[in-house]
């Protein structure tokens, strides 16, 4: 006879060859946040200052700038989800939906929650509405966050990465072309890092690429919700076990 199994209050009842067996089942209670390392300054600040934010929550960071290589991003995020789902009751992604890191992902044994924002900059500004409001007023803005600037993943850093491959003149031209539709470079002050060296670097980015510089205040509310909820439908997309993510879910 085929084995049958049912979970009851942390126990499993197994029927095998007409006999009943009881076994303990480890109940999954851990919450895991899988986030881009660019968010580490803000998440580390919150977890250090408010223990409620990290109670029962583990944060796993993935390398920065994966969004520049979408194929690698998808593989890396999905692999990490599969690694964590065996012990996690809930997995929360610290990525915007533009990353598409979970498209087609179905092999999950945990609830998956994703911020309902197309650009992760909404997390640094505090909500999707704040991002959309600013985007409508200043659509030609390239945003820098403390993590991007500190790790030199900003335009100047990308130019330096490309110099060995293209030479300095071409590397600079490539970045100018990438940013040719932007008019401003804005540094978001989230209040978690010393701003003086970051500001100096951000201004250098703007000057080198001939963009207008500005500095705008950030807001940590969305990050707080990422860590401990509430995961409202307005701000987060919920996927049940085995449910597939498609772009239609955003409509």
For residue range 230-241, list pLDDT tens digits in order.
Answer: 999 999 988 877
Please, what is the Cα angle at 247 between 245 and 36, to 5 degrees?
A: 65
Average pLDDT, the chain: 83
**What pLDDT was estimated at residue 1?**
39
Residue 13: what pLDDT? 55
Among 35-39, 166-170, 198-202, which is the least confidently predicted range?
35-39
The architecture (CATH level 2) of 30-121+221-250 comes to 3-Layer(aba) Sandwich (3.40)
pLDDT tens digits, 41-72: 999 999 986 655 566 688 999 887 777 667 77
Band the pLDDT of 168: cuts 50, 70, 90: very high
pLDDT at 3: 40
Ramachandran angles phi, psi of 113, nearest 5°: -125, 130
Give the pLDDT confidence score for residue 28 in this predicted structure: 62
d(CA 116, CA 122) in angstroms, rounded, equals 9
Q: How far apart are CA 244 and CA 116, in angstroms?
A: 16
Q: How far is CA 45 from CA 53, 115, 157, 179, 228, in A?
A: 10, 20, 25, 31, 14
**Above pLDDT 70, what percent of the chain?**
76
Instruction: Collect all residues with Cβ–Cβ distance below 8 Å to 61 and sequence separation of at least 6.
Output: 35, 36, 37, 39, 40
pLDDT of 21 strictly over 60: no
| pLDDT value at residue 221 | 96
Stretch among 8-12, 88-92, 172-176, 180-184 having the lowest mean pLDDT: 8-12
Residue 28 CB burial class (10 angstroms; 0-12, 13-18, ≥19): middle
Looking at the predicted structure, is the pLDDT value of residue 134 above 90? Answer: yes
For residue 150, give the H/E element and its range: helix 146-150
CA 72 to chain centre: 15
Domain with CATH 3.40.50 in the chain: 30-121+221-250
pLDDT greater at residue 106 or residue 202: 202
* pLDDT tens track for 94-111: 988 765 656 655 556 778
Residue 128: pLDDT above 90?
yes
Share of the chain above pLDDT 90, in %: 52
Identify the pLDDT of residue 230. 92
Q: In the prediction, which pLDDT does 7 show?
A: 37
């Amino acid at each position: 006879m085929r084995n049958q199994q049912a979970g009851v209050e942390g126990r499993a009842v197994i029927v095998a060859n007409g006999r009943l067996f009881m076994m303990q089942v480890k109940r999954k209670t851990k919450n895991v946040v899988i986030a881009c390392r660019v968010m580490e300054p803000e998440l580390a600040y919150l977890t250090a200052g408010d223990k409620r934010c990290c109670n029962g929550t583990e944060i796993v960071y993935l390398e920065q700038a994966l969004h520049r290589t979408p194929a690698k991003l998808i593989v890396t995020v999905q692999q990490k989800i599969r690694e964590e789902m065996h012990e996690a009751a809930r997995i929360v992604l610290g990525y915007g939906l533009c990353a598409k890191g979970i498209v087609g992902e179905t092999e999950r044994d945990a609830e998956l929650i994703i911020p309902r924002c197309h650009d992760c900059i909404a997390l640094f500004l505090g909500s999707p509405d704040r991002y959309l409001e600013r985007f409508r007023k200043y659509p030609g803005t390239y945003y820098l966050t403390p993590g991007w600037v500190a790790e030199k993943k900003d335009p100047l850093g990308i130019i330096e990465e490309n110099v060995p491959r293209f030479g300095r003149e071409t590397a600079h031209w490539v970045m100018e072309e990438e940013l040719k539709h932007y008019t401003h470079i804005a540094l978001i002050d989230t209040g978690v890092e010393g701003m003086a060296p970051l500001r100096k670097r951000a201004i250098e980015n703007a000057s080198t690429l001939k963009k207008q510089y500005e500095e705008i205040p950030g807001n940590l509310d969305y990050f707080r919700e990422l860590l401990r909820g509430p995961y409202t439908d307005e701000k987060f997309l919920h996927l049940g076990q085995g449910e597939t993510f498609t772009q239609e879910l955003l409509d």
